[in-house]
Amino acid sequence: MTASKAWDVAAAVPDPELPCVTVAELGILREVVMEGNTAVARVSPTYSGCPAVQFIEEVIADALCDAGYKARIERVISPPWTTDWISDEGREKLRAFGIAPPQKASNSKRALFGETVVTCPRCGATDTEKLSEFGSTPCKAHYRCKTCLEPFDYFKCI
């Protein structure tokens, strides 16, 4: 019943909307500490209104309970989550899943406002166009590749 084992349990939970990546790879699981017998997992929401936040918290708590821990979830909003916290491995998994990963250094206005090149996650072409700033979830925009013609999601920088 150590914090590092509890971390391993919580970290392996997949994101419900993006099952290809775990909550640790997304960077929304910030830390797990032990308070007596209770594993306290600190979780940062991606967007203020992300409808999955409560569900993600429940899934992490369930995973910890199943592993024999008493669990409590703390929602941490400061410092705010940023797409820069998505690990390199997470980015690669998103790409393999068909979602173009966010640009790094999202705090610059340039990346926030999508002036950088988005690479097609399927064929790797850079000749892509934005169809809609708002996609299937609050964290994604909708793009199309002009080379292979496939539409795809782009994980927006924030």
Instruction: Catalog residues that contact another protein under the rule CB under 8 A.
Output: 45, 47-51, 77-81, 109, 112-113, 131-136, 138, 142, 158
Which C-beta is closer to another protein: that of 16 or that of 51?
A: 51
| CA separation for the pair 95, 83 (Å, rounded) | 14
Least distance to another protein, CB of residue 131, Å: 7
Which C-beta is closer to another protein: that of 54 or that of 147?
A: 54
Q: Which residue blocks in the chain are alpha helix, DSSP H?
A: 3-11, 23-26, 53-66, 88-97, 109-112
Which C-beta is closer to another protein: that of 81 or that of 152?
A: 81
Q: Which residue blocks in 81-155 are alpha helix, DSSP H?
A: 88-97, 109-112
Least distance to another protein, CB of residue 86, Å: 15
Q: Which DSSP category does 26 fall into? A: H
Long-range interactions of 132-136: CB distance < 8 A, separation 24+ = none
Least distance to another protein, CB of residue 2, Å: 29
Least distance to another protein, CB of residue 158, Å: 5
Q: Which residues contact 148 (CB under 8 A, 6 or more apart)?
A: 120, 122, 123, 125
Least distance to another protein, CB of residue 155, Å: 14
Which C-beta is closer to another protein: that of 51 or that of 68?
A: 51
Which C-beta is closer to another protein: that of 4 or that of 78?
A: 78
